[in-house]
């Protein structure tokens, strides 16, 4: 099977291309964005050396599912999905912050809390929390968006005071983010999952706040299985989860946290397939649909280019 680690397409009307950690984004005449979800995988803000089969398709199709399932809450950028690994959407001006909504204390928030922090991004946390415990209510913990290196935590007051986002715009973003998290929580619950935390990105188009990028995928979210959650919490056991956290934990157990001088452990073909299966499992679990790999009737890059080119031609 082919793995898509890099693209370098030349579409008609293309003005630029941005190669992100896992996505390649093409600007078409400042009107449309072509977002290709590659099979790259990142952790600790480092792109790992091996690609994960079908990961790009899984991310793109989960994002499609949730964008369609939340468009009554907030307008989003999606226009079409011409290929299983590609979304074509409206060109927006991205806001320079990412909004993380947390319903439970887990991952990096737990690591900070365990180290003594009782406030994250200006949001106070009560004493006595246990790892993976549900918070009294969902909280927003925004971060700055870094083109390279690590994103940094920032408070809403700092965002507004520094003029990173206008006050009225950020207040709208907060409302949208909490409503999206509530909808995502409801959908996950129907599928026997708990939406633990997730990241949202927003942009502006004609002065209007638009939801952009992916939402509720395993790259941007953490899910626990609801079955057994309370028992595991009571015993202090690790939760069964469907998210990228298991990759981070594997890296940590092998001595890698993205720090200078550390080497990424070997990602064997067997391990990459294991990760792939976890991604597919989440797709099927969260959508209730069977995963169908994209057509291999033509080479992967050729298939993507042809599908996108036809889509762009239809949008003229």
What is the pLDDT at residue 316? Answer: 86
Structure tokens at 59: 């991310």
Q: How does the average pLDDT of the chain come out, rounded? A: 94
**pLDDT tens-digit profile of 244-256?**
878 989 999 999 9
Q: pLDDT tens across 127-144, in order?
A: 999 999 999 999 999 999
What residues have CB less than 8 Å from 11, skipping those under 6 apart? 26, 28, 34, 305, 308, 309, 312
Q: For residues 7 and 40, give the distance between their C-alpha atoms in angstroms, rounded to a whole number.
A: 11
Which domains does the chain carry?
Answer: 94-243 (3.30.470.20)
Q: What is the pLDDT of residue 127?
A: 96
Question: Which pLDDT value is given to residue 149?
Answer: 56
Cα(96)–Cα(35) distance, rounded to whole angstroms? 19
Model confidence pLDDT, tens digit, residues 245-285: 789 899 999 999 999 999 999 999 999 999 999 889 889 98
The residue ranking higher by pLDDT, 284 or 243, is 284
- % pLDDT > 70, the chain: 98
pLDDT surpassing 80 at residue 150: no
* Gyration radius (Cα) of the chain, Å: 19
pTM, to two decimals: 0.89
100, 155 in Cβ contact below 8 A?
no
Nearest alpha-carbon partner for 212 in 101, 89, 29, 80 = 89
Q: What is the pLDDT of residues 79-121, one digit of tens each?
A: 999 999 999 999 999 999 999 999 999 989 999 999 999 999 9
- Give the bridge partners for 17, in sequence order: 26
d(C-alpha 291, C-alpha 58), whole Å: 8
């Amino acid at each position: 099977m082919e793995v898509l680690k890099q693209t370098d397409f030349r579409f008609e009307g293309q003005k630029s291309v941005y190669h992100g950690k896992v996505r390649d984004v093409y600007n078409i005449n400042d009107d449309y964005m072509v977002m290709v979800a590659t099979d790259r995988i990142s952790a600790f803000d480092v792109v790992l050396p091996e690609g994960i089969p079908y990961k790009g398709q899984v991310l793109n199709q989960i994002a499609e599912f949730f964008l369609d399932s939340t468009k009554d809450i907030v307008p989003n950028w999606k226009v079409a999905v011409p290929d299983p690994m590609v979304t074509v959407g409206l060109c927006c001006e991205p806001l320079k912050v990412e909004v993380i909504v947390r319903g439970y204390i887990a991952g990096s928030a737990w690591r900070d809390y365990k180290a003594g922090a009782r406030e994250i991004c200006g949001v106070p946390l009560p004493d006595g929390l246990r790892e993976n415990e549900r918070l009294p209510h969902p909280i927003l913990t925004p971060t700055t968006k870094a083109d390279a290196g690590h994103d940094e935590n920032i408070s809403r007051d700092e965002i507004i005071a520094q003029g990173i986002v206008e006050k009225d715009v950020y207040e709208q973003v907060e409302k949208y983010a909490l409503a999206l998290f509530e909808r995502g929580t409801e959908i996950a619950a129907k599928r026997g999952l708990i939406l633990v935390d997730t990241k949202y990105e927003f942009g502006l188009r004609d002065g209007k706040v638009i939801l952009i990028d992916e939402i509720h995928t395993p790259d941007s979210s953490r899910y626990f299985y609801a079955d057994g959650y309370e028992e595991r919490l009571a015993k202090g056991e690790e939760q069964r989860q469907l998210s990228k956290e298991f990759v981070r934990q594997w890296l940590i157990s092998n001595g890698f946290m993205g720090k200078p001088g550390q080497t990424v452990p070997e990602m064997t073909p067997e391990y990459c397939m294991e990760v792939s299966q976890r991604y597919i499992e989440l797709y099927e679990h969260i959508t209730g649909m069977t995963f169908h790999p994209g057509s291999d009737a033509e080479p992967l890059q050729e298939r993507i280019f042809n599908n996108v080119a036809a889509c762009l031609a239809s949008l003229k």
